[in-house]
Chains A and B, each alone.
Chain A
Amino acid sequence: MVAPNAAGCFWLRLTSRSVVQTGTNQQGSDMEGLAERRVFLVEDEMLLALMIQYSLAEAGAQTIGPASRLADALAIASNPEERMDAAILDVDLHGQNVFPVADALQERGVPFLFHTGHGTKAELTGRYTEVVVCSKPTLPEDLIAALAGLLN
């Protein structure tokens, strides 16, 4: 049921219903296939957000955000004008749960992964089937690989 992949993140397969949409394009010459992709970043630890932002930039992706507060994140997630290909969601935002944002993304069909310091995998998979959960701390390259897995 739970199998760690090379990236150190966990792919959780519980039901056949998938929230993860496989990406259509394999364009670009980059290894991860993240070039020109727009990634929505929700993270309340600003240094971590900065590190992920740099890593995304190195992979050729563009960061939307980072949003550190639930209200800001929700405003971006539910704005149809804001085009996005994937999202990295921190679960606990200054004591508030990121789930409304995840729900909005699910509705839009935007694939996302959880990047969390809380030991709540069971809770997350109970709510979001087959979601990818990366436990904090995760190496930036592992996070990028997990994100690439989400898109391809």
Chain B
Amino acid sequence: MLETLTDKLELFKTAPSPWLQVTLAELRLTRAPSRILIVLLCAVLFGIGVVLVQTVSSERRARAQVEVTTNVLMLLRRSLLAGIDAETGQRGYLLTGDPVFLEPYERGSDAWLPTIAALRPVLEDASGPEQEIALARLEQLATAKLALMDQTIDLARSGSRDDALARLAEMTGKLIMDEYRATTSALEEQQAASQQLATDQARVVEARAVPIISLLGGSIIGLIIVGLWLERRAARAEAAAREAKQLRQAHDQSRLLARELNHRVKNLFSVILSIVTLSGRGETDARRVVSNISSRIYGLSLAHAVSQGQSRAEIVQLDELIAALLKPYAGEQGRITMTGEAIELPAKAVTPVGLIIHELATNAVKHGALSVGCGKVEVRWATSDRGDGRKVELVWREYDGPAVTHERDDGFGSILIKQATLQLGGWIKREWLPDGAGATLLFPLEVQ
């Protein structure tokens, strides 16, 4: 019966708890998704960064285009004004001959070509080949117009005002100026179109960026929620693993206790077997043998009952052990007195100490102080240490009993006491005095 119990417990030991492994696997599983989560989060943040950079740069491009357009329009208008100034001055001078008209003429002619030249670097960055051509055409037209005006002014200065007016009537100058205006208008329109295009592009990019950023922002919130959920799951799995560990520890503890108990039971059965076998030796009266055996087994059961109520399985309180063994014989108050300090006995001392006390008590009941009404028993114990380890000294003394005779050494009771003392690794002195028996037991506390 006990064998099978042990075997079953051994089986328990070798088979690992399967659900503990499941929990550990789950733990491993929860770690991989959190890594994926971090990678996803980084990707989303990178996407947001890309969209933002795109939006900002397209807006910057649109702003730069606006600047260029403003500059170009201003310079085109200024160059046209320079041409008109010069033409107005030329016509005034030719019509009136008043040199006061030469002032706007000079100012206009001086500013005209430099103003056109100033357009070149501005247009260079943001213009196509047709704008280059238009710019070259403007220079050509301005140069031709200036040459024409110079000619007429020179003619007027040299006195041929009529020739000069005739040249004016040829309409060449007007045609030049008409083309100049048309070219300027075309350039202005082109610039306005480029500006419109850049602004439109910026608007498109911006319009695209808003939903993308919202989407990515939403996915960040989603990832954070998933992360929190994973975190909670991991925490739960860890708690489960902790619980499993505690359960395993408790299981190990109970397995150890079961083994210890199993060993103790086997040992106790061996002792009982010995007592039964040995009690019958040299006895002829079957009833006495049975009575002796049952009394001793009863004593053992009392002793071992004490070890069951202990907070720690491996120790027993000496005072509780003695009280339990003497309880059946205590009778009226004050017959048996017990005094001594609190001593923790190792559990393996329970059987020998129990047997000795039980033998002394049954002797007292049969022939000693407890066999008469007025007899008393005093039990004292204390520990001492004379440098060779802590020892327990236990004194048993009977008073006011009948005179006792020396017990037979070969009686089993006597042998039992000797063997139990040997078991304790101790020493015993027994006395048979006129008013009762006495015994002094000395044994090391740590039975080796």
The answer to whether A47 touches B267 (Cβ under 8 A) is no
- Residues facing A in B254-270 (CB within 8 A) are 262-263, 266-267, 269-270
Interface assignment of A99: CB less than 8 Å from any CB of chain B: no
The answer for the CA separation of A135 and B6 in the assembled complex, in Å, is 13
Determine the chain A residues whose CB is within 8 A of the CB of B272 once the complex forms: 137
Q: Is the CB of B448 within 8 A of A54?
A: no
Contact status of A68 and B422, CB under 8 A, knowing A48-B274, A50-B278: yes
Interface residues of B in 1-47 (CB under 8 A from A): 3, 6-7, 10
User: Contact: B271 with A50, CB < 8 Å?
Assistant: no
Q: In the complex, are the beta carbons of A117 and B266 less than 8 A apart?
A: yes
Judge if B419 is at the interface, Cβ distance under 8 Å: yes
Which residue of B3, B6, B266, B420 is within 8 Å of A46 (Cβ)? B420
Distance of B289 from chain A, by nearest CB (Å):
15
Tell me whether A136 and B269 are in contact (CB under 8 A). yes
Contact A48 B270 (CB under 8 A): yes
* Chain B CB within 8 A of A14 CB: no
Q: Are A45 and B423 in contact (CB under 8 A)?
A: yes
Q: Which residue of A lies closest to B422 (CB)?
A: A46
Residue B221 at the A interface, CB < 8 A?
no
Is A80 part of the binding interface, using a Cβ–Cβ cutoff of 8 Å?
Answer: no
B419 lies within 8 A of A136 (CB): no
**In the complex, are the beta carbons of B266 and A47 less than 8 A apart?**
no
- Asked, given contacts A118-B263, A136-B269, whether A47 binds B447 with beta carbons under 8 Å apart, the answer is no
List chain A residues, Cβ under 8 A from B273.
Answer: 48, 51, 137, 139-140
Distance, CA A48 to CA B420, complexed state (A): 11
Q: How far is the CB of B282 from chain A (nearest CB, A)?
A: 10
A117 to B: closest C-beta gap in Å = 4
CA distance A136 to B273 in the complex (A): 10
Task: Give the docked Cα–Cα distance between A94 and B424 (Å).
Answer: 11
Residues of the B chain whose Cβ atoms lie less than 8 Å from the Cβ of A68: 422-423
Contact mask A20-50 → B, CB, 8 Å, 1/0? 0000000000000000000000001111111
Of the candidates B3, B263, B271, B355, the one whose C-beta lies within 8 Å of that of A48 is: B271
Q: Which residues of A contact B (CB under 8 A)?
A: 44-51, 54-55, 68-69, 94, 117-119, 135-137, 139-140
